[in-house]
Structures are given as structure tokens and as C-alpha cells.
Structure 1
Amino acid sequence: MRLFQNSGLYPSYLPRLNQLAAKASTFAARRDVFLHDRFGAAHFLEPVLDGAPEAFFTNADDEVLQRQWAREQGMQGTPTLEAILLAQIEHHRTEVFYNLDPVRYPTAFVAKLPGCVKKTLCWRAAPSGNADLTAYGAVLGNFPSILEAWRSKGCRAELFFPAIDPVMEQYGHGERPIDVAFVGGYSRHHSARGRTLEQVAALAADRNIVFCLDASRLTRLAESAPGRLLPLGKHRRPDVIARIARLPLFGRDLYELFGSAKIVLNGAIDMAGNDRGNMRCFEAMGCGSLLVSDAGNYPEAMQDGVTMRTYDVPERAVEAISSSLQDWPHWAETAATGRARVQQTYSKASQWAQFIDLVARIEPC
């Protein structure tokens, strides 16, 4: 199978990538730096991570990366990023196109794919406004309620899961000096999460609490000295959170943090109904932390009291965390069980096998 996997970058990750890849002067070198950092690796298929010759990977929204490829291939002028992506697909003679960034490249893009492409799939695990993905052979995701929403729009939608990155096994085998870690966004989409973070941040007086928050541009402005003179109060985080907030972490730095934390706090964003199992759950358990998260419908291997721990309302998160830390030997065993269970259930090999099965079952272009 000639597989082409396309992904995309968080804007807040780009400065880190540019720093890591400062000396990378070719497409392959910059891409290798990105893949080595493991940002988003839970979604990257086994042949991509293994460097299989029949698999091609790119981040089509990484302008530096894509223009390096265009120059190396002798593309004339200043082609659009879409034109470069189409040229890459044709050059690779892609048979199966798997797109992790389908809102940027929706049905209108699929119509432009070269004739070598026989099957198309995309990943989308969030509501996406009026995005049209009906031309894709299947929309993949791990939230059943969101998959049902795609079906109501005329898409074929199939259950598919992130997988544990084998590199996670390198982390989390020593001391865990951090009591609670949280890495994620903080915005209007996160009202329940915000209440939870506020409650847990109050533990910082007695516990080692690390919050690495991806704040919006308006939040950063609102919390600056000049911004405090402006009517931006609704964009400021509560003082108890702002006092301990650090910059967001990505890739191997995130693995290092989770491998040093007893507990990783997770809170679903307010967009997936009662479904649970966002990528942070896989990263936390894969690095051996005790996942403490809000109650809901979790995927197999994420079981309250057996492999992780849940709380029913934000106010109960502190209780769950405090009691876990007080009886840490017991909950450390739960975390270890969780790590083993997700490694077994969500391996890269099983993810790839499921992908092959999906490709066989969907209609050709």
C-alpha cells in the first residue's frame, strides 16, 4: 500500500519546531526532526513512524517544510501550499490518502486528487461547522457521538483510535516528583475544565502542581501589564491559575513531564457530549501516570478504579486527587495496570491492522 499521511501543526508548536529544526536545510531533515519530537505521534501510522519506503508523511500547513520540497523538486514560481500537496501526492504515486487536517483540505480538495489515489480517509474528532467531508471514503474518529453527527451530514464514519507511541516506554520509570500535571488549552470551549483547574490549582500551596496552558492571544494580552488597563476581564484566567501557569509543552517534553508526574489531570472539552478518550488520556497512561479525568463513556482499557480514576463533577476532582496521593502505593499500581493495558489494547501494530481493514472496506474513489 502506497500510503500518504498528511497532518498539521498547532500554531503554538511552530516556534518549538523552528528551534529544533534550525539547522535542517532539506525537506527530509526538517520532517525527520518533527517526527523525532513525537508531537501527535499517537495518530501517525506505523509505516510512517518506521520510515517505510512506501509511506510518505508531511505537514501540509508547514510552509517552510513544503517550500523546501517544492524547491528540491524544481517547482517554478511560488506555488500555493495546496498545489505543493497535490504535487507530492502525484510524485509519490499515492494509493491511500489519510488526512489528519481535513477542514483545511475538505471535499473540494479531494476532487482535485490525481488518479493514482484509490482510497481516501480523514480523521476528525471535533465538530467542524459547515466543513464538507462527504467526498472522503470515511471520516475516522474515536467519539461515537461526533461520528454520528458526520453520518447525519452524509459521511461514512468509522470508529478508530489513537495508539500508544512506543517511544513513551522510554519515560516514567524513575521518581515522580510532580504530584499533578495538566497540559492543554484554556478557552471558552473549556468551561467545565476551567472550573476543575481552578479547584485543583488551589492545592499548589501543599502539592507540586504543574499546569502548562496554551493561552489565547487575548488571554496573554489581558494578563499583561498594559492589558490590565483594558476591559478584557472575561479573557483573564483566575489568579489561582495564572499564578502557576507555565507555557505549553509538546512532543518529548510532554512525555518527560508526564513521566515525572504521579497524576495527569484531564478534562474533556465541552464539545463531545458524554464521550471521553481524547489524546491526552492516551499520552498520560502511555507514560505511566495515573489518569484522573471526568466521568463519561471511555474506550476499552480506560476503566475507573481499575486502570484510571474519574470524578463526576469538577468539585470532586480535588477529592479524587488528594485521596489518590494519600494512598499512592495503591494508585501507583492502578497507573501501572493502566499503562500495560493501553500498551496492549492500543499498540501501533493493532492500529495499523485496523487501518488496513478499514481501507479494504471503504469504497474506492
Structure 2
Amino acid sequence: MRVFQNSGVYPAYLQRLNMLAGGARSFSDRLALFLDDRYGACHILKPAMDRSPEFFFTNGDDEILQRYWAIENGLPASSDMEKILLSQIEHHRTEIFYNLDPMRYGNEFVRKLPGSVRKSIMWRAAPSSNADFGAYDLIVCNFPLILEGYRKLGWRAEYFTPAHDPAMDSYAENRNRPIDVLFVGGYSRHHRRRAEILEAVSAIRRDFEVHYHLDRSRLTRLAESPIGWLLPLGKHRRPTNIRAVSRAPLFGRELYEAISKSKIVLNGAVDMAGTDRGNMRCWESLGCGALMVSDAGVYPEGMVDNVSVVTYEDAESAQLKIVKLLREPERLQALAKEGTRTVRTSYSKHAQWLNFQQLAGNA
């Protein structure tokens, strides 16, 4: 089975990737550095990590990476990104096309796929406005309510989860965890519930070590700039307590390292899948040995409240539960240990790959 996996990189991560790959001068060199940094590793299938010769992985929105490939394979450096991606698929003789970036490469792209491609599969676990994905043979994600929405539109959709990254194991072993509470994620005026939780938990900063690594929206950055303080943008600024514990965004192995130094990772959904829960931070937090404290809801199998994770109902309960846990270190450690065991045993890369092959065969 010749599988081609296309992914993408968050714009805020590109700065780190370009720094890591500053000395890279080829497609293979830049890709190797990206894969070693483990960005999005929970979604990357096992053969990509193993560098299997029958498997092809790329980031179809990374212009530097894609233009390296184009030049190395006789295409003009000025070729557009879609043409490069189609050329890669044709050159690879792809049979299964697995796309993690369907908003960029949607129906029109799928209709242009070479004849060698027997099945097209996409991952989408977020609202998609009025996007049409009907050209894909199968849509996968780990949010049942979103999947049901796809089925109502007449599209085939199946449950598929992220997986534990084995590189996390060495991070999970760390016992020196000076950070009491860690949060890593986006911050904007659209994240109202998240902002309430972050503000409540940041209020414990005088008694505990709280670190927030926030990727602020452009409007929030403007509101907090010297010019922004002169403008009527108060509702877009972070509250004082949140600003006091905030640091720069983290990605890749820097994220793993931060989690490995943390006792608790605070998590929260962004109201995109109803009561369904299971964003990638679940796998990252538990995989790197921290206890995840997250909002109540329906979690993937094995992620059970007061067994392998702890859930809260609102901002007040989030603060109270976190303080209580930090004052009961033995219980906190036992919960964290069970969480790590759960993702290692129930969500291995091997199991994910077997599941994908089964889905691809049945698509």
C-alpha cells in the first residue's frame, strides 16, 4: 500500500521551523528536521516516522520544503504549490492519499489526483463553514458529533484518533516538575470560555508556578501594543493575571519539554464539537507525563475523570480542583501515571497504523 500523507504547519510554527532548518539545503534535510521536532506527531502515521520507502510525507503549505522538491525533480522553482503536490503524488505512484489539510486542498484538488490513487482520505475535526468535501472517499476524525454531521451530508465518515508519540516516553520519565500549571494554546476574543478559565486559574499565581504560552490573535497583539493602549480595544486585551503569567507560544520538542516540567496541563475545548472532547493536547499532556485537567465532556476511551484525567465544570471548579490537586501530590502523581499508561497502551502508533490500513481498505 503506497500511502501519501499531506499535512500542514501552523503559521506561528514556521518561525521555529525556519530556525531549525536554517542549514538545510534539500527536501530530505528540511523534512527530516521537521519530523525530528515532532510537531503534530500524534497525527503523523508510523511509516512516515520510520521513513518507509513506500510512504511519502510532506507539508503541502511549506513553500521552502516544496520548492526544494520541485527543483530537485526538474520543476520550475516558480511552480505553484498545487502543481508541486500533484507532481509528488504522481512521482510517488500513490495509491492512498491521506490529507490533513483539506481546507487548502479540497474537492477540486481531489478531482485532479493521478489515476494511481485508488482512495482519498481526509482528516477534519473542526467547523468548516460551507466547505464541500464530497469528492473524498472518506473523512476521519475523533469527534463523533462532527462525524455525524458529515454523514448527514451524505459523506462517508469514520472514527480515527491521534496516537501516542514514542518520543514522549523520555519526557514522561522526568520527575523534576517545577511548573505547577501549564497552558499552551491560542488566545482571542472568540475563546470566551477559555479566557474565563485561564483568568480564574491564573489568579493562583502568587501561591503556585503558573505558565501560559499563548499564541495571541493579531487583534489581541494590537490591543496590547503601545499604540493599542491608546485605542478603544480594552475587550481584546488579556486580563492582568493572564498577562503576568504569559510567555511565547511553544511547538514541537519545546512543547514536550515544557510539559515534562509541569505537574498539571490545563486544557479546554473551544466549543466546536459539542460535548465531544479529544484535542491533540490530550495525547501530548498524558504522553509527556503530566496530569491533564480539562473541561467536562465525552472523552476518548480510557480518558476517565478521576482515573486518568481530571475534569472541571466551570472556571471556579477549575481553580478549586487544581489547587486541591497541587496540595495532594501523591494523588496527582498517581493520576498522571495512569494517564500516561493509558495513552501508551491504548493509542500506540502501531495500533493507529493498523486502524488506518483497515479504514483505507474499506473506504
Mark yes or no: TM-score above 0.5.
yes
2:356 aligns with 355
In structure 1, what is the Cα distance between the partners aligned to 2:77 and 2:205? 55
Partner of 1:201: 202
Return the letter of the residue paired with 1:45. Answer: L
Amino acid at match of 2:342: R
The CA distance in 2 between the partners of 1:189 and 1:227, in whole Å, is 19
Corresponding position of 1:36 = 36
Partner in structure 2 of residue 255 of structure 1: 256
Partner residue in 2 for 1:163:
163
Partner of 1:302: 303
Give the Cα separation in 1 of the matches to 2:338 and 2:102. Answer: 35
Equivalence for 2:228 = 227
Native 8 Å contact 1:9 1:61 kept in 2: yes
- Tell me, what secondary structure is at the counterpart of 1:272? coil
Residue in structure 1 matched with residue 150 of structure 2 by the alignment: 150
Say which SS state the counterpart of residue 205 (structure 1) adopts.
coil
Aligned length, in residue pairs: 362
Distance 1:227 1:180 in 2: 29
Q: Find the residue that maps to 2:342 and give its secondary structure.
A: helix
How far does residue 239 in structure 1 lie from its aligned partner after superposition? 1.6
Indicate whether 1:59 and 2:67 are aligned: no
1:130 shift after superposition: 1.3
Q: Conserved in 1, the CA contact under 8 Å of 2:67 and 2:77?
A: no
Aligned partner of residue 182 in structure 2, secondary structure: strand
Letter in 2 for 1:74: G
Name the CA distance, whole Å, in 2 between partners of 1:36 and 1:323: 37
- 1:238 corresponds in structure 2 to 239
**Residues 16-59 of structure 1: CA deviation (Å, up to 9, x unaligned):** 00000000000110011100000000000010011100000000
Moved over 4 A (4+): none
Task: Give structure 1 stretches of 5+ with no counterpart.
Answer: none
Q: Residue deviations 1:308-365, cap 9 Å, x none? A: 1011112100111011011111120111011011110000000001001101111xxx
Counterpart residue identity of residue 63, structure 2 = E
Contact 1:275 1:298 in 2 (8 A): yes
Q: What per-residue deviation string (whole Å, max 9, x for no partner) do you get for residues 227-284 of structure 1?
A: 1111222221112111221111000000001111000000111211100111001100
Q: Matched residues in 1 for 2:97 and 2:208: separation?
A: 47
- Give the whole-Å Cα distance in 1 for the aligned partners of 2:188 and 2:144: 24
Q: Distance in 1 between matches of 2:308 and 2:149?
A: 30
Counterpart check, 1:131 vs 2:131: yes
* SS, match of residue 139 in structure 2: strand
Partner Cα separation in structure 2 for residue 238 and residue 101 of structure 1: 34
Unmatched runs of 5 consecutive residues or more in structure 2: none
Root-mean-square deviation over aligned CA pairs: 0.9
| Distance in 1 separating the partners of 2:340 and 2:255 | 16
Q: Does 1:216 align with 2:217?
A: yes
| Corresponding position of 1:344 | 345
The equivalent of 1:314 in structure 2 is: 315
CA distance in 1, matches of 2:99, 2:57: 10
Offset of residue 222 of structure 1: 0.8
* TM alignment of 1:16-31, pairs within 5 A: 16-31=16-31
Match of 1:86 in 2: 86
- Aligned partners of 1:103, 1:352: CA distance in 2, in Å? 24
Q: Secondary structure at the match of 1:52?
A: coil
User: What TM-score do you get using the length of structure 2 for normalisation?
Assistant: 0.98
Identity of aligned residues (%): 56
Relative to the length of structure 1, the TM-score reads 0.98
Shift of 1:77: 5.8
Where 1:17 maps in the other structure, the secondary structure is: helix
Distance in 1 between the 2:141 and 2:322 partners?
30
Find the aligned partners of 1:156 and 1:188 in 2 and give their Cα distance: 34
